[in-house]
Structure 1
């Protein structure tokens, strides 16, 4: 009598088998494969070959465990029998490696391992064909539950591989459930991301493939998973190697893509391009026009625009790509962003404008256009945006301190706006104004003169006594710089209280760096005979004398000037009286 196995082999190909028999055989096979996988972890000979075999065995186990209770045909049973024979071969080879008995020699053993690996490849391919043809169907529910906290690495690895198997061979609904479970795991523990990207064959590649799924829901979940993996620097290379950049850009371009998927795709690209090597990949796949389009459209969410700006900021770090961005109209787009209602968009627009404009190869027209846009922000921007715009104006002019650029700054109305912000702006904005005008004034006498014409001196004098120590010191420094211009000195001393206030603030008992700048201003002011007389008669000369005694160099200079003038007057008086 033939054995049951022989009877099964004699059945005609394609005949439908009894469902419980196939399920029982499959479960027995799973019981055989699982301990085989565990045994391979302790094998010392040929570790790399056993790692490959182990990955394939785990994938086989996932495929078999994922199958539902649907009837199958004799071809499937033949395959299961072949898998059983291969598993037996692998077990025999594992035993030989475990006791390191190389019967027939190491070369033969190595060859046998390669043969088993090739057979496993064939089995996996056949199983995928059975799933594709509907001979095998997947269970509707996710069979394996997520391991509890503190679970072993092996349990976590099996869970991820099982989910990836379902992602590969499941229908749309099962893929969604598998992706959802995978995303929950990725958020829970970084170890799952590591297993997915480094220990599961084609794990990340499977997610990348689904970015172009016809199902919008699957696209969203796949984009979410890719975004989660991209959070970790050590796993970004796996995404790039799997070719994630191109489909992520296509998600942003595709009209039917949901906003959720676009946001996820843009965030993933933002993280990937933090490595400048990946910037070229984004540019090569047409990412620059797509990202600029997102930033210029009003239909995009603030989250999407924020992520797109982040990518462009990274891309602008590559000179060639930055020039290409300008050619594609980046300046116009960033000017529009700088004038947006939302503070985040304004700040990003300002930052991007500065990045593309502070380039030696940019034309004067581009720089002047950027400068006009930044000055407009001082009218309508939020406090933070105004602060950013002031810093950007300062850095832009410092990057190209030509006479034409500084003249354009003066005629742009910048100084009038800056003065208004000094009079009524927040402290952080006042500090930014003072820092900007002080630095800009140091570049050009024309700017200093224009500041005097605009009425900065009274406001700077007022700021010498405000509560903010930093504002006081910056106001004193700016004032000292302005006084180097003759016309501004005349304006300053014309208002008698200005000099008295300055002298009063030189009280040596107060600890403040303000005095350093005020004394520097006095050195210049005391070139005037009338100023020296007023200082001598002010009653505050003792402040200067005490500062001179503490080795304040500029105070000594002022005292010397005053003393020389007094000796000269005494000499003249003696001559006149003789």
Structure 2
């Protein structure tokens, strides 16, 4: 059963009556009649009018609310003190001197402005207009709504908690923060965060992250902000729009407790994952802060993992890349490649990939000089997850334009064995495509033995060429295969495989318009130019010449030359056989 409404506390009701009917009218009259410090009293007159209007706007049962009662209790002595000051200003002798009176008046005006601010905040929250029979306003903090509660109940709770965060003392603020965290934990996080973003005061929460806040408040506020930054787009945007990235970066850099730093970097990583927000890291001077958080011994492995993930998020921005190199970030990223945490390795590799693929040759050279290649190769050989393989191979691929890196890779049979494994058993078409690209670019400089060991890739590369989308896969596979069939034994491997020949024939068919003909034609031409009559005879017997004839008539580059090479030698072979008879 709902308890009956609680009557206003007699002390609060009496104080409110005294303020409205005695003190404020007297002070407004004095503010208009004093001669001393007239400009200050004129400003005070406006504050007093606003206070009178705000108090009059409160409902009759507002005094039952503990926050309103506390405010009224603080207003009464402040107005009495101001009334005493008005008497001193009306005295022509100015007791205690003009300067002392001016100082006392400034202090009283500042105190009154703060109380008016709190009262305005409480009125805007709408809490005073909720019938006390519908809630428990006398509670220190309202009870956390159950998951099945209505949105109105949750909104009321959130507005109440945020009001207490800004008006109450330390104990009340801690309890309000604790209740907000409980709400975020009890209810579907995205739902609660969305209501907080729309009905709460996120800016007030962010102010608690300031170094001047009590450490316990700062810790709980950081936890709440981390929830908001990771729960949903609306709450994450609210944190960013209210300027939350700056305080979070300062919190990460300030040497706060390990738990607080972890919560701060959780929020930073989530905010920087939004492309539209990533630029702000540079504006807030966050690049060196994130680099320092990645250094060995600077924090927990969790902080390192999230800090390098945030760097990975922003590394696509040109100015960030420049700052990352200038601030000494390359050696730090190289160290993280050897981390025992897979996510840390992945983020470090992707960050290096961004720096290498989007940067200039000087940046690529600096990455190699920093020693990135050995740990990348080690990670490639020891990692088990496809995501990590993909990230590491991206970074390696971006570095092969550096001659020193290319030489190192070409002299590593183990690396090419790994590429073969990726293409044959990688499971990811993008991973296979990157492996094919690397083979195409490096194969001319590797030994014949290495190419021979990659023979199992030939059938896979032909199969990849059949992929209609994306078109880049056909191109990568075609180039990779061309690099391998420069070796005689690999050409024989292709021709011996019935499935591979059938695939090649199918791709050459002019009726198959999903395949760009330049890639299969280039493979046939390479086979035809290889010099083995058996290879050309096998192609002719398979029916390649009929397709090449139509493609040559259609003007496909290389088709005519391949046709002449195959059919010409085929004719010679037939004539030679007839003459011998």
Instruction: Answer whether contact 2:356 2:399 (CA < 8 A) is retained.
Output: yes
What is the aligned partner in structure 1 of residue 142 from structure 2?
144
Partner in structure 2 of residue 247 of structure 1: 247
Q: How many residues align?
A: 469
- 8 A Cα contact 2:494 2:501, kept in partner: no
Q: How does 1:201-350 map to 2 (within 5 A)?
A: 204-212=203-211, 215-231=214-230, 232-236=232-236, 238-240=238-240, 242-255=242-255, 257-274=256-273, 279=278, 281-298=280-297, 300-350=299-349
Partner of 1:374: 376
**Is 1:419 the counterpart of 2:416 in the alignment?**
yes
Secondary structure of 2:501's counterpart equals coil
Task: Select the residue among 540, 544, 568 that pairs with 1:564.
Answer: 568
Does residue 393 of structure 2 align to residue 390 of structure 1?
yes
Q: Deviations over 1:461-490 (max 9, x none)?
A: x34457995499889735631257xxx344
Q: How far 1:344 moved relative to its partner?
A: 0.8
* Cα distance in 1 between the residues matched to 2:154 and 2:559: 74
- Contact between 2:54 and 2:119, CA under 8 Å: does it hold in 1? no
Q: 1:526 aligns with which of 525, 528, 532?
A: 528
CA contact (8 A) 1:377 1:389 kept: yes
Compared CA separation, residues 312 and 422, structure 1 to 2 (3 A): closer
Contact 2:294/2:308 (8 A) holds in 1:
yes
Pairing 1:391-410 to 2, within 5 Å after superposition: 391-397=394-400, 401=401, 405-406=402-403, 408-410=405-407
CA distance in 2, matches of 1:61, 1:510: 88
- Post-superposition Cα deviations, 1:124-176, rounded to whole Å, max 9, x if no partner, equal 35879xxxxxxxxxx995342345645364x5444323212322343433322
- Hey, what does 1:40 align to over in structure 2? none
Q: Secondary structure at the match of 1:345?
A: helix
- Give the Å deviation of 1:532: 1.9
Could you tell me how far 1:409 is from its partner in structure 2?
A: 0.9
Q: Is the 8 A contact 1:483 1:524 kept in 2?
A: no
SS at match of 1:145: coil
Deviation at 1:22, TM superposition (A): 0.8
Whole-angstrom CA distance in 2 between matches of 1:203 and 1:61: 28
Structure 1: give runs of 5+ residues left out of the alignment: 1-18, 30-49, 81-118, 129-138
Match of residue 168 from structure 1: 166
User: Paired residue for 1:477?
Assistant: 478
> What's the counterpart of residue 93 of structure 1?
none
Report SS of the residue matched to 2:452.
helix
Counterpart position of 1:456:
451
SS in 1 for 2:305: helix
Contact 2:75 2:115 in 1 (8 A): no
CA contact (8 A) 2:393 2:434 kept: yes
Structure 1: how far apart are the matches of 2:403 and 2:549?
40
1:506–1:515 Cα contact (<8 Å) kept: no
Change in Cα spacing, 1:65 to 1:290, as seen in structure 2 (3 Å) is: same
* Match in the other structure for 2:496: 501
Judging changes above 3 Å, is the alpha-carbon distance between structure 1 residues 26 and 143 closer, same or farther for their aligned structure 2 residues? farther
CA distance in 1, matches of 2:113, 2:192: 25
3-state SS of paired residue (1:505): helix
Q: Answer whether contact 2:436 2:479 (CA < 8 A) is retained.
A: yes
Are 2:439 and 2:483, in contact at CA under 8 Å, matched by a contact in 1?
yes
Q: Deviations over 1:553-572 (max 9, x none)?
A: 68886564343224345667
User: What TM-score, normalized to structure 1?
Assistant: 0.64
Q: Please state how far the C-alpha of 1:191 moved relative to its aligned partner.
A: 6.8
SS in structure 2 at match of 1:455: helix
Q: Which residue of 2 aligns with 1:22?
A: 11
Q: Which runs of 5+ in 2 are unaligned?
A: 1-7, 19-49, 81-110, 121-136, 468-473, 509-514, 553-557
Report the equivalent of 2:97: none
